[in-house]
Structure formats: C-alpha cells, structure tokens
C-alpha cells in the first residue's frame, strides 16, 4: 500500500510499504477515506533528524472497517468510523475517568509499530475502545467536520474544559491555528461571553470571528498582554487556551489570565520547563491540560456537528490526494493553508 514516511526535516515521501494488517485479536484494519496533516506534524517537519527508515505519519482519520480481529465485538466490516489520534481500550481505570490518552493499554498512531493514517489503510489497536462508528455515509457533506473529531475539535474542546470555560466567562485563545480556531468554537459552545483571539493571520482571524470570537489581538509579547487587559477591565481573562506550545505562547497565556483564573494548554510543549512560574503562583492561576482525550468527547460533540450547530471542518481549507501529501506539508508549514485534508 501507499503511505507517508518522514525521513527528516522537510523530507516527506509517499512510498510503497507492506500492507497494514491485523496483528492482535483486538485490532481492526481500517481503509482510510479521509486523513489530515496536523499542526503537530510540523514540529518534526522542522526538526526531525534524518533516518534511513523514515517515520510513518498521520494520526487523524475517518475510514471504513475492512477486517476485525477475533476479540473485536462492537465493530463490523463496512462500518464508517472516526479514529481518535490515540488508541485506548475504553475499559481501564483512566478510560473510565475519561482520560483515554493515559490508557494503560493505549498509545499513539504514527509509530513503526502501529503505522500512520496518512496512508491507504491503518491498523487500529484496541479497536472496540478506540473507534467510533459514524451514522453517515463515507462521502457525507459533513465529512470535514466529522474528521476534526479525531483531533483538533476535541483538542480545542479539551483546552476549553481544562481552562474551566463556562457560561459568562471571558476567554483568551493564544494561537490562530486549527486548534485555536476550534478552541474558539468550543468556548462559544460552552457559553463564554467574551472570546479574544490572539494571532496575526487575517484569514484565520476572520474565521475566528465567524466562529464566535468577539475581539482580536494581533500585538505580541507585553503589548499583547496589555491589550488583553484593556479589553477585560484591567484584570485579564478568566480562561486562557494555550494552543501553540512555544515558551512565548505559554508565557502570554499565563500573563493574560486574571488572578484565580485557569490556563488550558493543548499545544505540545517544545520546552522542558514552563515559563512564568512565579506570576502563576502569585495569581493563583491554575495550569492544566495535556493530550486531549478526544475519544471521550466524541459523544458530546457529535450531535452539534450532525445538526450543524458547529462547523469545525471549516478549518480544513485545502484538500490533497495521498501522492500530494508532501505539498500539503509545505503549504501548512508556509502558512498558506490552515489545515490540510488528505483524500487517499
């Protein structure tokens, strides 16, 4: 089958690899009908050391179940499923608490063992707990929005939940990428009164306003913090959504949060240490978040997608074939595209 491998920074190739197949009795084999390139795929695209073997890429997908292992009981061949970016058994201690990304039998896609979703097919471990059957056909018009339930919409929602967004709250969203934009959708959906989007790309900021952002801050650093305070009676926001992962963005998220507020961070941190420990301490700011348990959020978010109340699929502003995936990486890395959908 054809699949995406990254051999080093900027070196993405589509190659023939051994067909994905069932390995464990708890596996399903899924033929990928839609996949994505993720903002988090851009980190290795900038920094990955060269290797001879290449890294399988892709962790977001919708597809059709092609085969199931002997211990799979809730899925059947032909089901259309959404695949969260992490696999999980759905039954362990942490899955029962809704923290599927800490599943004791779980793990992540895009490894030599499990393979990636930017491919014709993917092996899905712990299929019963991982996959969610969609009640639509594989070419449904809602497909882009349904695809975001595999990562970015669930991740934006997790940022909002971790930042304690609720009715009447003021919210600052740091980052205008796909996750930040989905964070705006999530904040609006949870009843935020004021939503300040922080970013510098006019097309993305326009989309953020359509999603419910009430204010835009395009300054950076101290000027950005000052501007947010001006917009919030001088104190800052109740809830900050950190959707980038850089030290500067985390610093900004903590600095714009009012005393007693909370930061929900979902940007994969690029540093070992967290900035602004002292301001966070003295302001009693809660810092929470991590890899989103998107599997836990599908049930909650799906009705809003199916009934058109939210349209997160609008962040997918470019579509490519599998063979065009390297061009998709280039377009996202150069910020020509917000997020790229792959149609194998």
What distance in Å separates the CA atoms of residue 277 and residue 202, rounded to the nearest whole number? Answer: 32
Q: Of 27 and 176, which has the nearer Cβ to Zn ion?
A: 27
Q: Which stretch binds Zn ion (CB under 5 A): 43-51, 75-83, 93-101, 137-145?
A: 93-101
Contact of 326 with 3, CB cutoff 8 Å: no
Smallest distance from Zn ion to CB 185, Å: 27
Q: Of 93 and 133, which has the nearer Cβ to Zn ion?
A: 93
Q: Of 95 and 208, which has the nearer Cβ to Zn ion?
A: 95
88 near Zn ion (CB under 5 A): yes
What the block records as the tokens of 249 is: 């963005």
**Close Cβ partners of 202 (under 8 Å, ≥ 6 residues apart):** none
What distance in Å separates the CA atoms of residue 309 and residue 130, rounded to the nearest whole number? Answer: 25
Smallest distance from Zn ion to CB 107, Å: 11
Q: How is the chain split among helix, strand and coil, in percent rounded to 5?
A: 35, 25, 40
- How far apart, in Å, do the first and last CA atoms of the chain sit? 11
Q: Of 100 and 123, which has the nearer Cβ to Zn ion?
A: 100
Phi–psi pair at 25, nearest 5 degrees: -65, -15
Return the residue of 95, 163, 228, 315 that touches Zn ion, per CB under 5 A: 95
Q: C-alpha 258: how far from its chain's center?
A: 26
SS3 (DSSP) at 163: coil
Site for Zn ion in 119-178 (CB under 5 A): none
Smallest distance from Zn ion to CB 99, Å: 9
Smallest distance from Zn ion to CB 94, Å: 6
Q: Of 88 and 145, which has the nearer Cβ to Zn ion?
A: 88
- What is the x/- site pattern for Zn ion, positions 98-117, by CB under 5 A? -----x--------------
Q: Of 28 and 225, which has the nearer Cβ to Zn ion?
A: 28
What distance in Å separates the CA atoms of residue 172 and residue 170, rounded to the nearest whole number? Answer: 7
Q: Of 86 and 179, which has the nearer Cβ to Zn ion?
A: 86
Contact of 54 with 155, CB cutoff 8 Å: no
Q: Which stretch binds Zn ion (CB under 5 A): 26-34, 83-91, 142-150, 199-207?
A: 83-91
Return the residue of 27, 89, 151, 176 that touches Zn ion, per CB under 5 A: 89
What distance in Å separates the CA atoms of residue 37 and residue 344, rounded to the nearest whole number? Answer: 13
Return the residue of 20, 92, 160, 192 that touches Zn ion, per CB under 5 A: 92
Residues of this chain that interact with Zn ion (CB under 5 A) are: 88-89, 92, 95, 103
């Amino acid at each position: 089958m054809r699949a995406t491998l990254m051999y080093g920074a900027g070196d993405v190739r589509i190659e023939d690899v051994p067909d994905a197949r069932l390995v464990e009795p708890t596996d399903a084999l899924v033929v990928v009908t839609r996949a994505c390139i993720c903002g988090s795929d851009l980190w290795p695209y900038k920094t990955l050391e060269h290797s001879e073997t290449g890294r399988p890429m892709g962790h977001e997908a919708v597809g059709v179940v092609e085969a199931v292992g002997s211990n799979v009981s809730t899925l059947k061949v032909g089901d259309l499923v959404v695949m969260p970016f992490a696999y999980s058994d759905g039954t362990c201690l942490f899955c029962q608490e809704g923290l599927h990304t800490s599943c004791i039998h779980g793990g992540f896609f895009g490894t030599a063992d499990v393979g990636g979703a930017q491919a014709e097919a993917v092996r899905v471990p712990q299929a019963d707990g991982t996959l969610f059957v969609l009640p639509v056909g594989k070419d449904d018009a809602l497909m882009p929005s349904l695809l975001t339930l595999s990562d970015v919409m669930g991740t934006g929602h997790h940022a909002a939940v971790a930042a304690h967004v609720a009715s009447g709250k003021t919210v600052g969203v740091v980052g205008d990428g796909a996750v930040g934009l989905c964070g705006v959708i999530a904040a609006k959906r949870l009843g935020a009164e004021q939503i300040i989007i922080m970013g510098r790309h006019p097309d993305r900021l326009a989309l953020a306003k359509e999603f419910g952002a009430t204010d835009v801050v395009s300054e950076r650093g101290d000027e950005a913090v000052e501007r947010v305070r001006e917009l919030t009676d001088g104190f800052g926001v109740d809830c900050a959504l950190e959707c980038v992962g850089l030290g500067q963005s985390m610093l900004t998220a903590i600095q714009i949060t009012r005393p007693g507020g909370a930061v929900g961070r979902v940007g994969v941190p690029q540093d070992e240490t967290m900035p602004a420990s002292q301001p966070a301490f003295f302001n009693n700011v809660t810092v929470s978040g991590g890899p989103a348990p998107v599997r836990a959020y599908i049930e909650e978010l799906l009705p809003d997608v199916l009934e058109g109340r939210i349209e997160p699929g609008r962040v997918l502003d470019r579509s490519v074939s599998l063979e065009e995936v390297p061009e998709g990486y280039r377009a996202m890395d150069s910020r020509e595209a917000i997020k790229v959908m792959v149609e194998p």
